[in-house]
Chains A and B, each alone.
Chain A
Amino acid sequence: MAAPAPPRTGVAGEDEPGSTTGTVRTVRAGVAAALLGVALLAGLTAAVSLGSVDIPVGEVWSVVGRRLTGGAAEPGSRDLIVWQLRAPRALLAAIVGAGLGLVGAAVQALVRNPLADPYLLGISSGASLGAVAAVVLGTGAGSAVGFGASGAAFAGALAAFALVWTMARRGGGFSPLRLVLAGVGIGQFLSGFTSYLVLQAGDEQRTRGVLFWLMGSLSGAQWSQLAIPAGAVALGLLVLQARARALNALLMGDETAAGLGVDVVRLRRELFVVTSLLTGVLVAVSGAIGFVGLLVPHACRLVVGGDHRRLLPLSALAGAVLLVAVDTVARTALDNQEVPIGVVTALIGAPALLYLLDRRLER
Chain B
Amino acid sequence: MMRIAVDAVSVTLSGRSILSGIHLVAEEGEIAGLIGPNGSGKSTLLRTVYRHLKPQSGRVLLADRDVRELAPAEAARHLAALPQERGSDFEFTVREVVAMGRSPYQRAFAGESAQDRTAVTDALAQVGLAGHERRSFAALSGGERQRVLLARAFAQQPDVLVLDEPTNHLDVQHQVELLALLRAQRRTTLISLHDLNAAASLCDRLHVLHQGTVVASGKPRDVLTPDLLAEVFGVRAVVVDHPLTGDPLIAFDHRSPVGTAPLS
Contacts and interface: CB of A to CB of B under 8 A. Distances in A.
The judgment on whether A and B are partners is: yes
B132 A15 contact: yes
Contacts of B74: 261
A78 interface: no
B103 A255 contact: no
Nearest to B139: A9
Interface in B92-118: 92-93, 95-97, 99-101, 103-104, 106, 108-109, 112, 117-118
A12 B132 CA distance: 5
B85 A256 contact: yes
Contacts of A112: 88
Contacts of B85: 252-256
Contacts of A261: 71-77, 103-104
Of listed A9, A245, A253, A305, residue having the most chain B CB within 10 A:
A245
Of listed B77, B83, B99, B153, residue having the most chain A CB within 10 A:
B83
Interface stretch (A16-24, A47-55, A133-141, A146-154): A16-24
A7 B135 CA distance: 9
A253 B108 contact: no
Interface string A295-319: 0000001100111000000000000
B105 to A, nearest CB: 9
Interface residues of B, number: 55
A258 interface: yes
B109 to A, nearest CB: 7
Given A22-B133, A253-B85, A255-B50, A302 B91 contact: yes
Contacts of B133: 15, 18, 21-22
Contact of B134 (A24, A114, A255): A24
A255 B51 CA distance: 9
20 contacts: A8-B139, A9-B139, A10-B135, A12-B132, A13-B131, A18-B133, A21-B133, A114-B90, A245-B108, A251-B90, A254-B85, A255-B50, A255-B85, A259-B50, A259-B79, A260-B100, A260-B156, A263-B72, A305-B91, A307-B96
Interface of B: 47, 50-52, 71-77, 79-85, 87-93, 95-97, 99-101, 103-104, 106, 108-109, 112, 117-118, 120-121, 124-125, 130-136, 138-139, 153, 156, 162
Interface of A: 7-10, 12-13, 15, 18-19, 21-22, 24-25, 112, 114, 241-246, 248-249, 251-256, 258-264, 301-302, 305-307, 363
Interchain residue pairs A-B with the least CB separation, the first 5: A261-B76, A259-B81, A253-B85, A255-B83, A261-B73
